[in-house]
Chains A and B, each alone.
Chain A
């Protein structure tokens, strides 16, 4: 991604002027970053080591040292299970969303009648699923309708019976749980994949048709072309999508852990210091996952221009 500037003894006046212009454009952003992101981040680190009392007009800090962090791991009964839940969801999401969106993007990239309509459909989730709507729809699933309508809100894909059959067939193999969880989430996966499909299609369009033509002339089948051309060419986007999926799932309004962190700070507890500590633990764990997965993948990534 970075282009190395050539090291020369003397740089031309034009180069210096261009560097100056570039700095003006981007240092403007940096000023905003320091003001609106870096400062609050630093303050939030400070909060996490204190008990924060917000009185009328003043903020009082009572130093706790590592107290908030220790509390999260030892006394809090809710945090650890929520953290594990949320991480499992993120990990499953990464795998399923990436595979599903790549599959759909490859399919949508073919020419067939009705393609325009289908594409419009697949981008629909980007337009209408965020925040409020998803929240309402999901609340409906768990809502018990007292009326005699017998309607159960949005009937999601039910795999309860299927799950039990599989469990008895395999002597309670724990892997079955993961499988049926994945099937249960098909609905959400499809709805979460909008942006990723979009990015993949953009990537597929950028692959030169000449590559496929020459491969076909050499007698390559579609299957071989996919593994030898499509996949390497699209590998940078797989990384981008991975990052996006991880970000998307922890900024999701429906993430239970985030709700909990938010409730600790603004709900009945009003404990801002503890909330900041929880947020930092979560952030640290996510960063590790992000770094690990990007690190592992980027060795395999192929850049055409390098």
Chain B
């Protein structure tokens, strides 16, 4: 690096025959420096919350009160983690979250892909209109339909069939995962419209010859889809699976509607201050703050692990999934 710099400077002397190439090299060096600085800055902003979460999570009460401690705890403690684990009732909440995030993601993968395939490969007159409706579901703010949907699920009864079978009673789906699973079953879950869109774009980009070969060899529509299209659509599946899982893992709005008696991790996290003050009778911020961040760390740790394992594949798959119109 130093050598390069010296070369560049010497070449700049007036009359140097190397001057033309030196201009190029200097420009390259300056560009490199500029981008290095820019990305260091942005990278810092991106990684900052993570560092902050883990640095705060290991602080003891003494560290919080010590004005000279800013980042690195002088008396680090891991006690915050088991404490937060206990306050959040982590195992129970984790099971709830897994039920929702895992179940919905599975349904999204099965149904959004099929629906997307229907939009991508089969021509019929009202297809454009139907697809416009898919995009429309994306822009409906969930707040508009929250209450009617809530009433629908609390007194679940399709066309009076359930009532007729049980003698006038309806099913209450409150505090069960069904208000999330049922819409996902029909491609109507949280941001399912986007997933249908991604699958449609992906299938549209695949060569038609693949399917035609299948048809000629005597495969039906479903066999062709399962044997030929699916194995080639792995990148789209990874993308959608990851996004769907993460968004449901972190979702607060929908989950507070239906799961007040069966809280998930994200709900525990939003209410963690109250949980700590109520169960430990502590409202001292020097204890509250590190414990809260220990809780944050516990919730995002599984996601970070998944991301680190899947990131390379994810980034590549996004590039190849052809989300692009």
Contacts and interface: CB of A to CB of B under 8 A. Distances in A.
Contacts of A35: 158, 186, 188
A275 B186 CA distance: 28
Interface stretch (B3-11, B98-106, B110-118, B274-282): B110-118
Interface in B232-290: 243, 246-247, 250-253, 265-267, 269-270, 272, 284-286, 289
A198 B292 CA distance: 31
A140 B52 CA distance: 12
Contacts of B285: 143, 145-147
B13 interface: no
Interface string B280-317: 00001110010010001001100110010001101100
A150 B247 CA distance: 35
Given A22-B118, A41-B145, A132 B152 contact: no
Nearest to A116: B312
A146 to B, nearest CB: 6
Contacts of A215: none
B142 A251 contact: yes
A231 interface: no
Contacts of B146: 262, 265
Interface stretch (B15-23, B60-68, B77-85): B60-68
Interface residues of A, number: 97
Nearest to A200: B324
Contact of B52 (A37, A143, A154, A282): A154
Given A132-B252, A237-B324, A279-B143, A148 B65 contact: yes
B144 A124 contact: no
Interface in A141-195: 143, 145-151, 154, 186-187, 190-191
B63 to A, nearest CB: 8
B221 A21 contact: yes
Interface string A1-29: 11101000000000100110111111011
Interface string B149-167: 1011000001000000000
A33 B188 contact: yes
Given A30-B130, A116-B312, A240 B325 contact: yes
Contact size range, B = 35 or more
A124 B46 contact: yes
Interface stretch (A60-68, A69-77, A91-99, A283-291): A283-291
Interface in A83-136: 104, 107, 112, 116, 118-133, 135-136
Contacts of B67: 148-150
A205 B235 CA distance: 15
B49 interface: yes
Contacts of B123: 3, 5, 15, 18-19, 22
Contact of B152 (A40, A126, A150): A40
Contacts of B243: 126
Contact of B143 (A2, A22, A262): A262
B139 interface: yes
Given A37-B188, A44-B148, A24 B141 contact: no
A66 to B, nearest CB: 18
Contact of A26 (B43, B130, B148): B130
A247 B65 contact: no
5 contacts: A29-B118, A133-B269, A147-B286, A198-B318, A236-B324
Interface of A: 1-3, 5, 15, 18-19, 21-26, 28-33, 35-37, 39-41, 43-44, 47, 59, 104, 107, 112, 116, 118-133, 135-137, 140, 143, 145-151, 154, 186-187, 190-191, 198-199, 201-203, 205-206, 236-237, 239-240, 243, 246-247, 250-251, 253, 258, 261-262, 265, 272, 275-276, 279-280, 282-283, 286-287, 290
